[in-house]
Amino acid sequence: MDGGEVGRMAHSSIGVLAFLVALAASAEDGKPSDPAAALAENQECLECHSEAELEIELDSGETKNIFVDAQKLASSVHAKLACSDCHTDLKGKSSKHKATAFPTAREFAVNYSDQCKQCHFANYTKTLDSVHHDLIARGKLDAAVCSDCHGSHEVMSAAEPRSKISRTCAGCHEKVSTVYAASVHGKALLNDESPDVPACTDCHRSHDIADPRAGAWKLKTPQMCGSCHTNEKMMSKYGLSTTVLSTYLADFHGSTALLQQGEKGARPMVALCTDCHGVHDITHVNAPGSKVLQANLVKTCQQCHPDATENFPAAWLSHYEPTWEKASLVYGVKKFYAVFIPFIIGGLVLQICLHLWRVVVNR
Map the footprint of ligand HEC across residues 154-193, applying CB under 6 A. Answer: 155, 157-159, 165-166, 168-173, 176-177, 180, 184-185, 188
Cα–Cα distance list, 78 to 11, 157, 328 (Å)? 30, 11, 65
Integer Cα distance of 99 and 292 in angstroms: 59
Range in contact with ligand HEC (rule: CB under 6 A) among 7-15, 303-311, 333-341, 345-353? 303-311
Closer CB to ligand HEC, 37 or 244, in the complex: 244
- CB 214 to ligand HEC: min, Å: 9
Interface residues for ligand HEC in 43-62 (CB under 6 A)? 44-49, 56
- CB 53 to ligand HEC: min, Å: 12
- CB 335 to ligand HEC: min, Å: 21
Give Rg (Cα) of the chain. Answer: 32
Of 20, 40, 136, 152, the one binding ligand HEC (CB under 6 A) is 152
Closer CB to ligand HEC, 176 or 330, in the complex: 176
- CA torsion sign for 72, 74, 76, 82 is positive
Integer Cα distance of 136 and 106 in angstroms: 11
Of 37, 40, 136, 200, the one binding ligand HEC (CB under 6 A) is 200
Integer Cα distance of 117 and 146 in angstroms: 9
Range in contact with ligand HEC (rule: CB under 6 A) among 79-87, 321-329, 331-339, 340-348? 79-87
Site string for ligand HEC, 321-340 (x = CB under 6 A): --------------------
Q: Does 202 bind ligand HEC (CB under 6 A)?
A: yes
Q: Does 267 bind ligand HEC (CB under 6 A)?
A: no
Other CB atoms within 10 Å distance of the CB of residue 164: 13
- CB 110 to ligand HEC: min, Å: 8
Torsion region of 133: left, alpha or beta (phi above 0 gives left; psi -120 to 50 gives alpha): alpha
Integer Cα distance of 196 and 21 in angstroms: 48
| Under 8 Å between Cβ of 110 and 136 | yes
Of 316, 321, 322, 331, the one binding ligand HEC (CB under 6 A) is 316
| Under 8 Å between Cβ of 81 and 38 | yes
**Amino acid residing at 154:** E
Torsion region of 289: left, alpha or beta (phi above 0 gives left; psi -120 to 50 gives alpha): alpha
| Under 8 Å between Cβ of 66 and 55 | yes
Integer Cα distance of 147 and 171 in angstroms: 13
Of 81, 136, 219, 327, the one binding ligand HEC (CB under 6 A) is 81
Q: Does 216 bind ligand HEC (CB under 6 A)?
A: no
Closer CB to ligand HEC, 9 or 25, in the complex: 25
Of 203, 216, 258, 330, the one binding ligand HEC (CB under 6 A) is 203
Closer CB to ligand HEC, 15 or 118, in the complex: 118
Q: Does 319 bind ligand HEC (CB under 6 A)?
A: yes
Interface residues for ligand HEC in 85-114 (CB under 6 A)? 85-87, 90, 94-97, 99-100, 108-109, 112-113
Size of the site for ligand HEC (CB under 6 A): 130
Burial class (CB in 10 A: 0-12, 13-18, 19+), 53: exposed
| Under 8 Å between Cβ of 167 and 189 | no
Of 144, 190, 219, 327, the one binding ligand HEC (CB under 6 A) is 144
Integer Cα distance of 142 and 132 in angstroms: 9
Total residues found in the chain within this entry: 363
Range in contact with ligand HEC (rule: CB under 6 A) among 220-228, 325-333, 338-346, 347-355? 220-228
- CB 322 to ligand HEC: min, Å: 13
Of 197, 219, 281, 327, the one binding ligand HEC (CB under 6 A) is 197
Task: Supply angle C-alpha 23, 25, 29, rounded to 5.
Answer: 105
- CB 69 to ligand HEC: min, Å: 9
Nearest Cα to Cα of residue 112 among 144, 79, 145: 145
